[in-house]
Amino acid sequence: MSEHDENAEDMADQVRPDELLMGVAAEAWQAYNAMETTKRRHFEQLELLENRKKNYNIDPSPRDRALLSGLLQDHDEQVGRFTRASQSLKQADAAAHQALFGYIGLITRAADARRTTH
């Protein structure tokens, strides 16, 4: 059995904490998801612009740079939102905070296990 298979089995034994995510940790969970989404958007746009430059020697237009800047601002705002929600959750319910970060760690490891390198 490969390391990937073992990781997949370990993760399959874990359960999504619905009550936590829909209850006391809902705000922090939503903020986390928003933060991840805005990070992905920013990186995708950055990658597009870098590939245009590398492959075609096309510099970003002012509109491209403005969009990239706006996407980074969106992400920065969501990072702040997640930080505040996480701190608030920790003060209100330290066990829920720990459980949320345990689940975030689980899904992060699952995403890492899905990545294939050659």
CA distances from 99 to 12, 29, 70 (A): 17, 11, 33
Q: What is the reported pLDDT for 82? A: 98
Task: Give the predicted TM-score (pTM) of the model.
Answer: 0.83
Q: What is the reported pLDDT for 116? A: 60
8 A C-beta contact, residue 103 and residue 17: yes
8 A C-beta contact, residue 49 and residue 68: yes
Q: What is the reported pLDDT for 9? A: 46
Which stretches of the chain score pLDDT less than 50? 1-2, 4-6, 8-9, 11-12
Domain positions in the chain are 24-113
Q: What is the reported pLDDT for 15? A: 82
8 A C-beta contact, residue 101 and residue 22: no
